[in-house]
Amino acid sequence: MSSPISLEGKRLLVTGSARGLGRAFAEAMIAAGAKVMVADILTEEGQATADAIGAGFVHLDLIDPESVEACMEATVSELGGLDGLVNNGAIATDIGGPAMTEIDIDVWDRVMTVNVRGTWLMSKAAVPHLAQSCNGKIVNLASDTALWGAPRLMHYVASKGAVLSMTRSMARELGEDGIAVNSIAPGLTAVEATEYVPEDRKSLYVDNRPFTRTQMPEDVTGAVLFLVSDAASFITGQCIPVNGGFVMR
């Protein structure tokens, strides 16, 4: 598999990349010439993915600050530095359905801890290393649910709205270190994490966007590859919706 974008020599870390979108990102980055570290809480699946695509693997539990630091240390040691971080790791599976009045407090707290605090901690750990890169990059995975206010998913929507806001704040703070920080907001994509989504929600997307087909992981990878490439070195604080036109900004 060839890539229209060159990432030759780039050293990249993708969280939550044992499967789904994260795996697609890691695989596309390797095809574009990058050295990649797969990081995931799913140890066996993550190692299998890394072996299959030619990446390194490190265990990562975004709830645990010590695990975040250990992940970063192992990544920098194996890759010899860091040029880009993709904050893809998040809780998204089997949490949709309850109304806002029915969301369990423990589930709310766990979603916020992983999706919001985990993104912050991972980025914080990466900053000293990205600052030593010529064009350090952070790409945060938001969601278009935060752009249109998806119902019966408020804890996840709130977490991804926070990621959008954090991206802008991080971009302003880290610009002096030469680090670009952007986000993408994918639409409903056909991966393991969305298999549980009801058919009526899937149809809502397909029936209300210009591209009336199922969104696949390869529809999203190009935006991430662009944002971690040198071509995007003067772009920061931005969000790219990647959803076939379901949300237009």
Q: Which amino acid is at 236?
A: T
Q: Residue 79 has which token pair?
A: 């890759």
Q: Which amino acid is at 153?
A: L
Kindly list the distances between the CA atom of residue 194 and the CA atoms of 35, 72, 190, 214, 219, in Å, as whole numbers in the listed order. Answer: 28, 28, 6, 12, 15
The three-state secondary structure class of 151 is coil
Of all residues in the chain, what percent are helix, strand and coil, respectively (each to 5)?
45, 15, 40
pLDDT value of position 233: 96
What's the predicted TM-score (pTM) here?
0.97
Contact by Cβ (8 Å): 132, 81: yes
The Cα angle at residue 215 between residues 84 and 10, in degrees rounded to 5: 15
| DSSP type of residue 177 | G
pLDDT value of position 1: 54
pLDDT value of position 193: 85
Beta carbons within 8 Å of 102's beta carbon, 6+ residues apart: none
Q: Residue 10 has which token pair?
A: 């780039």
Between 20-31 and 218-228, two packed helices, what is the crossing angle to 10 degrees?
60
Q: Tens of pLDDT along the chain (249 residues)?
A: 567 899 999 999 999 999 999 999 999 999 999 999 999 999 999 999 999 999 999 999 999 999 999 999 999 999 999 999 999 999 999 899 999 999 999 999 999 999 999 999 999 999 999 999 999 999 999 999 999 999 999 999 999 999 999 999 999 999 999 999 999 999 999 998 898 898 999 999 999 999 999 999 999 999 999 999 999 999 999 999 999 999 998
Beta carbons within 8 Å of 49's beta carbon, 6+ residues apart: 17, 18, 19, 23, 26, 38, 40, 55, 57
- Which has the closest alpha carbon to 182: 148, 247, 149, 136? 136
* List 25, 156, 205, 246, catalytic entry: 156
pLDDT value of position 62: 98
Q: Which amino acid is at 188?
A: L
Contact by Cβ (8 Å): 239, 15: no
> Quick one: which H or E segment has residue 58?
strand 56-59
| Strand ranges across the sheet with 11-15 | 56-59, 35-40, 11-15, 84-87, 137-141, 180-186, 239-242
In the chain, the domains with their CATH numbers are 11-242 (3.40.50.720)
Q: Is 205 a catalytic residue?
A: no
List, in sequence order, every residue forming a beta bridge with 59; answer none if it has no partner: 40
